Amino acid sequence: MGTLSIISAQAEAPQKGGTLTLILPSEPSALVALATVAQPVIATSAKVNEGLLTYDYNLHPLPQLATSWEISPDGKRYTFHLRKGVKWHDGQPFTSADVAYSLDLLKKTHPRAKSTFANVTSIETPDDLTAILVLSHPAPYLITAFAAGETPILPKHI
C-alpha cells in the first residue's frame, strides 16, 4: 500500500506553492553551487536559483531563465533571450547583467566552470533581455552546461 501511495503521489499534477522536502545524503555546506561540486550543494542550489536552461532526460535543452537561444553557425556565439518579468527575492528585475556577472564569477570560483567556460572570452549584454556569449573556439558541449545546479544565475546587485 505504501508503494501505491508513492506512485499515485508522483502522478499528481504539480501545484504552485507549498513546501519542498528534499532528502540528501548529508547536509549541504552551501545553498548555491558557486564554488563547489559537492552533490548536496548542487541538489540544493537548483532549488534556490535557476539556470538559463534545464534539460530533459536526453539532455535536450529546455527554457528556464532563457526562453530561446541561438548558436551561430561557426559555434562562437551563443545568444540567449531572457524571460520577461522575472524578479529577484528583493523585487529587483532579472537582467542580462546578472547572467554576465554570474558566468564571470563562476569562471573564477567554480571548479568545473573554469574549464567549462574557458573558451568564453566575453559576454555581451546589448539589452536587459539578451545575453551573448562570445567564444574564442567552438565548444559543442557548452549548450549542456546551463542547468541551475552547475551554472546558477545570481543577482549582480547583491
35-47 confidence digits (pLDDT tens): 666 677 667 767 7
The pTM for the full model equals: 0.80
pLDDT category at 25 given cuts 50, 70, 90 is confident
66-106 confidence digits (pLDDT tens): 999 999 999 999 999 999 999 999 999 999 999 999 999 99
CA-derived radius of gyration, the chain: 17
Q: CATH homologous superfamily of domain 32-144?
A: Dipeptide-binding Protein; Domain 1 (3.90.76.10)
Output the pLDDT for position 124: 98
- Domain parsing of the chain, residue ranges: 32-144
Output the pLDDT for position 60: 96
